[in-house]
Amino acid sequence: MPGPVSVAPEILAQIQADFSREWQRLCREAESGMLAPPKDRRFSSAAWAANGQHVLLAHTYLLVSQVMNRMVDSAQVSDSLRERLRFSAMQWVDALSPANFLAFNPEVQQSIVESAGKTLSLGLSNLLQDIKKGRISQTDESQFEVGRNLACTPGQVVFENRLMQVIQYAPRTDTVYQRPLVIIPPNINKFYILDLQPENSFVRYAVEQGHTVFIVSWRNPLASDTDGVDQATWSDYLDGAVLKAISVASDITGQAQVNALGFCVGGTMLASALALAQARGARPVASLTLLTSMLDFHDTGVLSVFVDENHAMFRDQQFGRGGLMPARDLSNTFSFLRPNELVWNYVVGNYLKGQTPPPFDLLFWNSDSTNLPGPFFSWYFRNTYLENNLKVPGRAQAAGLSLDLTRLDMPAYLYGSREDHIVPWPSAYASTRVLRGPARFVLGASGHIAGVVNPASRNKRSYWARPMGEDKMPGDPNLWLENAEEHPGSWWVDWTRWLDPHGGKRVKAPRSQGNAQYKPIEPAPGRYVKVRAV
């Protein structure tokens, strides 16, 4: 057990002196009426500025927060423990903001008075509804429906099993590339993050470029299921889902190889499945795209605070005979990585102010997470986040075979998001040291999801890349960045320029989806994606 956490006496004295000096300054300015509101959006309304006591309260809170963070930074502990302390301090600091409490938030109090109590009544109603749902509403969910205005790119489900459905999308061009594109999304969420609305659908964009697109739609297992899906393992997913989806696309299009894309956990699964195929002497993929994916888990960012042997052993024991990792647990974990933005912002808006959050397709998707088979999750947690086995040839196994990702030598397009807190971009870049084929790395602006979903038609944000064909990969990602050029707009355009030559020649677009062996089952987006976790 770690000993008590301490701070060097001289540093502690300096922190105390700085706090005292700053506190006295705040009090003087408050007494003279010269204390300006802090530059923090939680205290930016006119109601906060109108009362000197509330302004002082906000500043005091921020000052104490600063002291707590300095104490953590100065603690004489290991780096791993410091990260846990920093995460814990963030949770307490963000939760105790005076803006989160009716008694201390003048903006909330003013809205109650001006509405004659209506906002308070609406807030209580919102709270009761969210208690029934078991989660905080982050968007107006009544404005979205999967299959109506989300996941509405036309296509057909052409295969299904207990783990997933495979969707083939209808062409939107007269001719298509011979070689299809198979997309493996993360199975901790629904696939339609890549097929939101028509104007920001990555799937639709790829189809419009002339690619025959297949995507995996993951089963959302429920506690009521009786087919043993709760006992599915990592090996089951590699063989029965990833490699099977590739096989289905290959058979339907008559191509020996496909182009494959994996997003987040889907990228880790895809690379692992290809290593499994390689161990069997098969090479089913001509090119590989990995979006915000990790193959080397040396730096897992803020998620490292959850990773230790005790947690892994707990999950191993919990799921030793099957069971489900609840979607709610995963969703809460990711929300509390950014509590001000994804938790307390909505507590104040929904419950204290009685507001309905604005409709936002990405946040609707964010609330539509999936359960995971326990054995799959426990294998993944131990072999990636805890032991980092995938990057070491032969250390990880699947289906009784050793996996060696360093034998994957197909051309690879690797994408990272610069502000990603889930997959730090240097960790996405680290895949260049695992894969052995020619690689192109591109760094997009924004975060884990918004960086990926950056439609070419909107020409927003930017990305960093080196000239096509000049993709030398230094070991230091920052050295790569120093020599990369920033380009305005979406990285999607750069990706299609890279992918198109791997598609083969153009042929007449098929008039229907599926074939004699894999006949259409139902229209896209299919049944699986509409099952919500309970």
pLDDT, position 1: 43
Active site residue 27: no
Burial (0-12, 13-18, 19+ Cβ within 10 Å), 512:
exposed
Axis crossing angle, helix 118-133 with helix 106-114, rounded to the nearest 10: 110
* Alpha helix ranges (H) inside 104-238: 106-114, 118-133, 202-208, 234-237
Phi, then psi, of 183 in degrees rounded to 5: -110, 130
Location of each CATH 3.40.50.1820 domain in the chain: 155-326+371-483+505-530
Burial (0-12, 13-18, 19+ Cβ within 10 Å), 421:
middle
pTM above 0.85, yes or no: yes
| Secondary structure (3-state) at 217 | strand
Planar angle of CA 427, 430, 432, nearest 5 degrees: 145
pLDDT, position 320: 83
From the list 264, 337, 423, 524, the catalytic residue is 264
| Measured distance CA(439)–CA(471) in Å, rounded | 7
Do residues 492 and 458 touch, judged by C-beta distance below 8 A? no
Phi, then psi, of 296 in degrees rounded to 5: -110, 115
pLDDT, position 4: 67
Token look-up 């700053």 returns: 22
Ordered per-residue pLDDT tens for the chain, 534 residues? 455 678 899 999 999 999 999 999 999 999 999 999 999 999 999 999 999 999 999 999 999 999 999 999 999 998 888 999 999 999 999 999 999 999 999 999 999 999 999 999 999 999 999 999 888 999 999 999 999 999 999 999 999 999 999 999 999 999 999 999 999 999 999 999 999 999 999 999 999 999 999 999 999 999 999 999 999 999 999 999 999 999 999 999 999 999 999 999 999 999 999 999 999 999 999 999 999 999 999 999 888 999 999 999 999 999 988 999 999 888 888 888 899 999 999 999 999 999 999 999 999 999 999 999 999 999 999 999 999 999 999 999 999 999 999 999 999 999 999 999 999 999 999 999 999 999 999 999 999 999 999 999 988 899 999 998 877 899 999 999 999 999 999 999 999 999 999 999 999 999 999 999 999 999 999 999 999 987
Residues 6+ apart with CB under 8 A from 389: 383, 395, 396
pLDDT, position 255: 98
* CATH, domain range 155-326+371-483+505-530: 3.40.50.1820
What's the residue count for the chain? 534
